[in-house]
């Protein structure tokens, strides 16, 4: 893939850009519909989901994001990105885009002080992927059309539906590049 984008409205987009560059990709920070139209894949990073929703609305990006996902181009959504992609968000309920048939509970892996690092279960599709949870959402329900790619203690933490891969953790903050490589390949 020649050019990938990271939604750069708020949150941890720099670390994703570095992870993608480590894999040999050219990376653009995406803040406008024109910038989104110029990339061949997209990361929806962690951050604060209600803030992301406000900024997506302010910059008129909802329709372009929906069109991007509908185009079939690869999307990686982490932490807050998973919340935005979910079919349903609880604790508390909020708007989401419904691109992945999962129900997620916000901050359900604990508060900031409960952040932790570990590895995915070894029988996960991607193997023992490095996991870093920071106020992470928890996947409570997985729809029938959703593939579970990684689990932690038997719970789904990385899922894929169609061209959207979504994780409850921050792979960009570990040295493990397997999640980014599984979605976008190597540049």
Q: Which two tokens stand for residue 129?
A: 């992927």
Q: CB–CB of 152/117 below 8 Å?
A: no
Q: CB–CB of 39/4 below 8 Å?
A: yes
Q: Which of 116, 92, 83 is nearest to 11 (CA)?
A: 83
pLDDT in tens, 20-34: 999 999 999 999 999
Residue 37: φ, ψ to 5°: -65, -20
State which CATH number among 3.40.640.10, 2.40.50.140, 3.40.50.880, 3.10.105.10 fits the domain covering 3-184.
3.40.50.880
Task: Tell me what pLDDT residue 113 has.
Answer: 65
Task: Tell me what pLDDT residue 127 has.
Answer: 87
Q: Which long-range contacts (CB under 8 A, 24 or more apart) does 56-59 make?
A: 56/9, 59/9, 59/31, 59/32
Q: CB–CB of 119/150 below 8 Å?
A: no
pLDDT in tens, 64-118: 999 999 999 999 999 999 999 999 999 899 999 999 999 999 877 766 666 778 8
Task: Tell me what pLDDT residue 142 has.
Answer: 98
> What residues are annotated to the active site?
79, 170, 172
Task: Tell me what pLDDT residue 14 has.
Answer: 93
Using CA atoms, how far residue 29 sits from 46, 94, 135, in Å, is: 14, 26, 24
């Amino acid at each position: 893939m020649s050019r990938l984008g990271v939604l750069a409205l708020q949150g941890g987009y720099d670390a994703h850009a570095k992870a993608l560059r480590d894999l040999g990709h050219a990376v653009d920070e995406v803040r406008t519909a024109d910038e989104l139209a110029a990339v061949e894949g997209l990361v929806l990073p962690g951050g604060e989901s209600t803030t992301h929703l406000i900024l997506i609305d302010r910059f008129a990006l909802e329709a372009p994001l929906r069109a991007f996902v509908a185009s079939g181009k690869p999307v990686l959504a982490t932490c807050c990105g998973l919340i935005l992609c979910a079919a349903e968000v609880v604790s508390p309920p909020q708007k989401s885009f419904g691109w992945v048939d999962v129900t997620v509970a916000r901050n359900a892996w604990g508060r900031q002080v409960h952040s932790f690092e570990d590895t995915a279960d070894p029988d996960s599709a991607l193997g023992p992927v490095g996991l870093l949870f920071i106020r992470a959402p928890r996947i409570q329900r997985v729809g029938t059309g959703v593939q579970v790619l990684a689990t932690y203690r038997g719970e789904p933490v990385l899922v894929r539906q169609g061209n959207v891969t979504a994780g409850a953790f921050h792979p960009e903050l570990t040295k493990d590049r397997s999640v980014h490589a599984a979605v976008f390949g190597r540049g």
